[in-house]
Amino acid sequence: MTATTDHRRSRTGPPAAGHRGAAAPAGATLPGVTLWRRVADQIAQAIAVGTYGTGTRLPAETELAAHYGVNRHTVRRALAVLRERGLVRPARGSGTYVEAPRLAYPIGTRTRFSEIVGASGRQAGGRLITGAQEPASIEVARRLGLKAGAPVVRLELMREADGVPLCVATTFLCATRFPGADRVYAARRSMTRTLAQFGIADYRRGATRVTATTVDLGDAARLDVRPDSPILVVDSIDVDADGRPLLTTRTRFAAERVELVLES
């Protein structure tokens, strides 16, 4: 979960349709290699050498099947393997797209989504899904140093890189200290800028807990992943310069798009 090795370097795979020179003969099976795995490896090779660039839509299953001399079931299984490797992403109703490499996401004392995504050469994006004021649960109150039932602002956030969903997050802030934080975030579209609006010039990570589970149906739709796909769950508390809790967040990362790097 925390390994930083770039596994994309070892991919092997096929060229685009019309460029059969680099592919094995259609329908041929290498000794000891199943047909669907050979197709998967050749498509992966085409991705590695840039035949299919990041964000490119792959040819339709029927085209790939004709190109490799296999049936659609074989192609479908090969694409499923590539999805598990994090190389491609199916989009409902429009096809299968080449996925960007997994984003190395450092978890340290200063964890800023926009800075991390920007440092990778991608464009960070985000939006407020919903925002509301509600009574703090016992757990949220404990994290924020409040009494159970104290008013808090809950933010449901979507975070993206180059328009691809990376994570969804649920953030809680003290409503007394940050009144209307949901409206501020909707306008600023950044937690750092939202806190700055309330006079918080800087903040740091106070605590982090990482677990793994499978995605629920709601988050699967938001992240555009298959139901029961693996996700990385990060529970965090951010504090001000005096160590007082500012906000607590539960972030659900699509595991096929992100690798968490724990900094010491």
- 129 in a domain, yes or no? yes
Q: What domain count does the chain have?
A: 2
Same-domain status, 116 and 82: no
For residue 2, pLDDT over 70 is answered with no
- Which of 80, 98, 116 finishes a domain? 98
Q: Is the pLDDT of residue 12 over 90?
A: no
pLDDT at 149 > cutoff 80: yes
Q: What is the predicted pLDDT for the residue at 228?
A: 85
Range of the domain at 69: 7-98
Give the domain CATH number at 32: 1.10.10.10
**Does residue 75 share a domain with residue 141?**
no
Query: What is the pLDDT confidence band of residue 11, given thresholds at 50, 70 and 90?
Result: very low
Q: Any alpha helices (H) in the chain, and if so which ranges?
A: 35-48, 61-68, 72-84, 113-119, 138-144, 181-188, 191-197, 217-223
- Indicate if 37 and 145 belong to the same structural domain: no
- Based on its alpha-carbon atoms, the radius of gyration of the chain, rounded to whole angstroms, reads 22
Instruction: Sort strands 103-107 and 124-135 into parallel, antiparallel or unpaired.
Output: unpaired
**Contact between residue 152 and residue 135 where contact means Cβ atoms under 8 Å apart:** yes
Q: Which of 23-32, 139-148, 205-214 has the lowest mean pLDDT?
A: 23-32
Last residue of a domain, one of 75, 98, 121: 98
92/17 same-domain check: yes
Highest mean pLDDT among 7-21, 113-127, 141-155, 182-196 belongs to 141-155
- Of 20-24, 55-59, 96-100, the one with minimum mean pLDDT is 20-24
Q: What sign results for the dihedral spanned by CA atoms 194, 110, 166, 53?
A: positive
To the nearest 10 degrees (0 to 180), the angle between helices 61-68 and 35-48 is: 110
Question: Which band of pLDDT confidence, cut at 50, 70 and 90, is reported for residue 264?
Answer: low
Does 1 fall in a domain?
Answer: no
Give the C-alpha separation, 191 to 121, whole Å. Answer: 20
Specify whether 21 is located in the same domain as 71.
yes
Q: What is the pTM of this model?
A: 0.70
Question: Residue 33 has what pLDDT?
Answer: 55
Query: Residue 7's pLDDT band (boundaries 50, 70, 90)?
Result: very low
pLDDT of 24 over the 60 cut: no
Q: With 60 as the cut, is the pLDDT of residue 254 above it?
A: yes
Do 238 and 107 touch, CB atoms closer than 8 A?
no
Residue 20 has pLDDT above 70, yes or no: no
Q: Is residue 22 part of a domain?
A: yes
Do 90 and 119 share a structural domain?
no
Last residue of a domain, one of 46, 67, 98: 98
| Mean pLDDT, range 222-228, rounded to an integer | 88
Same-domain pairing of 90 and 32? yes
Q: Is the pLDDT of residue 22 over 50?
A: no
The C-alpha atoms of residue 105 and residue 232 are separated, in whole angstroms, by 12
Asked, for residue 30, whether it belongs to a domain, the answer is yes
- Is the pLDDT assigned to residue 25 strictly greater than 90? no
CA pair distance 148, 142, nearest whole angstrom:
8
- The reply to whether 2 falls in a domain is no
186 plus 244 within the same structural domain: yes
CATH at residue 201: 3.40.1410.10
